[in-house]
Structure 1
Amino acid sequence: MSSAYLLVSHGSRDPRPDVAMQQLAKLISEKLPRGKNLVGIATLELNTQPLHQQIQDFAQTALTFGCQFLKIIPLFLLPGVHVMSDIPAEVEIAQKALVGSIKLDLKPYLGSHGKIEKLLTKIMATIKAERVILLAHGSGRSGSQKPIETIAENLGVMAAYWFVSPSLEVRVKELLVAGSRQITILPYFLFPGGITDAIAESVEKLQLQFPEVKLQLASPLGVSAELADVIWDLATEGEQIVG
């Protein structure tokens, strides 16, 4: 039984995340038996079509290749409203429209995979600073910050959020009071984009505000073979791939 795979991201007006998604899809396609499976990309927002229609369109293409399953992988790092409510609702709409033709399988969100923490550990090994702040987007959904707090504790770093409190500025002030003079901010985001640009501007302003501390901004996770491996693990969990 063959499967197709659809990578779902948030969507952005900035072209860089879309380019990164296409690069990831290519890396994952290289893992598949040639001519037997498909990898596509879709976005929850900022698309001319709603996600359920994007799923249906890709499913129809997958059917022409003889695929019986469509694995949908949410490339989100936090269990916010999009992951817990919006995407499942869109998948349900698509499945009703596709009943009897192809089975949709919504996989766990990317940030739930333990290997994401290993990727962060690898990045941490290249950072030379007294303290590190793991800066995530954050979510208004209750309990959605807990995975970040757990990762931060395991890595021995401090968590901060762009969208909710505690903010980056608050954390920098706390570390400054504690005597830290070298602080690196590690953005817990997949790709460069509008938000990471805004973070960079914020770090520059904080550096001017606190000249006594040296602030460094690391890069987001970015496209890599390691990230593609994590996505592949999520996509194929419990599935036997036959070459």
Structure 2
Amino acid sequence: MSSAYLLVSHGSRDPRPDIAMQQLARLFSERLPHHEHLVGTATLELNSQPLHQQIEHFAQKAQIYGCDRLKIVPLFLLPGVHVMTDIPGEVTIAQQTLRQEMIIDVRPHLGTHPGMVDLLNQSLVNLNTDALILLAHGSRRPGSQTPIETIAHRLGAVTAYWSVAPSLESRVKEIIATGKGQIAILPYFLFAGGITDAIAQAVEELKLQFPEVSLQLMPPLGASAELANLIWELTN
């Protein structure tokens, strides 16, 4: 049985995430067996076609290459509405069109891989800091923060959120109040984009507000061989 692979991300008007997705797809394809080499990317939003049509067109291409199974990997860090509702709904529509000519296998979303914590830890090696803030987007959905809190606990970090409380500024103030002066901020985002630009600007403003404190902003995860390896493991 030969498989094709479709990496599904959110989508962005900023070109950087799409460039990173293409890089990640190339890195991922290097891990495939020789008889499996077809890897594509798709986005849930901000695409000229809805996701189910993207899936259908890629599946038809995969059939030409002799594939009878399509493995879809949602490149989302948290189990929000996109992972739990939107993607399964789009897959159902696509499967009805394709019927039994192609088996669609939706794999667990990226954030479920236990190796994510190790990947985050790699960026902290040799980091000289008194405190670590794990900064995620945040959601008002009940229970949505639990995975972030779990990861933060394993990293020895406190959490902050971009869209809900506690905010980055409030966390920085709390840490400063304890007498710690070297703070690292780790964004829990896949790729650079508009939000990470806004975070960088917010950190610069905090540096002006607290000149006696060292604030170090780490980069988002980005496309890497290590991340591609986690995706490969999710497909098996």
What's the CA shift for 1:35?
Answer: 5.0
What's the CA shift for 1:214?
Answer: 1.4
Using the size of structure 2 for normalisation, the TM-score is 0.97
Q: Which amino acid aligns with 1:235?
A: T
Identity %: 65
Partner of 2:49: 49
Q: Deviations over 1:9-31 (max 9, x none)?
A: 01011111101100111111112
Aligned 1:32-71 pairs, distance under 5 A: 32-34=32-34, 36-71=36-71
Looking at structure 1, the residues matched to 93 and 127 of structure 2 have their Cα atoms a distance apart, in angstroms, of 45
Q: Which amino acid aligns with 1:211?
A: P
Looking at structure 2, the residues matched to 64 and 218 of structure 1 have their Cα atoms a distance apart, in angstroms, of 43
Partner of 1:187: 187
Looking at structure 2, the residues matched to 100 and 228 of structure 1 have their Cα atoms a distance apart, in angstroms, of 29
Answer with 26-35 or 81-90: which moved more.
26-35
Partner of 1:241: none
Contact 1:36 1:65 in 2 (8 A): no
Aligned 1:87-106 pairs, distance under 5 A: 87-106=87-106
Looking at structure 1, the residues matched to 126 and 42 of structure 2 have their Cα atoms a distance apart, in angstroms, of 33
Q: Deviations over 1:161-181 (max 9, x none)?
A: 112211111111110111111
3-state SS in 2 of match to 1:73: strand
3-state SS in 1 of match to 2:123: helix
Looking at structure 1, the residues matched to 24 and 39 of structure 2 have their Cα atoms a distance apart, in angstroms, of 10
3-state SS in 2 of match to 1:59: helix
Partner of 2:227: 227
3-state SS in 2 of match to 1:133: strand
Partner of 1:146: 146
Query: How much is the aligned-residue C-alpha RMSD, in angstroms?
Result: 1.1
Aligned 1:1-243 pairs, distance under 5 A: 1-34=1-34, 36-236=36-236
3-state SS in 2 of match to 1:124: coil
Contact 1:28 1:232 in 2 (8 A): yes
Q: Which amino acid aligns with 2:15?
A: P
> How many residues of Structure 1 are paired with residues of Structure 2 in the alignment?
236
Using the size of structure 1 for normalisation, the TM-score is 0.94
Looking at structure 1, the residues matched to 145 and 165 of structure 2 have their Cα atoms a distance apart, in angstroms, of 10
Contact 1:56 1:94 in 2 (8 A): yes
3-state SS in 1 of match to 2:176: helix
Looking at structure 2, the residues matched to 123 and 168 of structure 1 have their Cα atoms a distance apart, in angstroms, of 20
Q: Deviations over 1:177-199 (max 9, x none)?
A: 11111111111111111111010
3-state SS in 1 of match to 2:235: helix
What's the CA shift for 1:126?
Answer: 3.4
Q: Deviations over 1:108-154 (max 9, x none)?
A: 11011001111011112132111010111112222121111001001
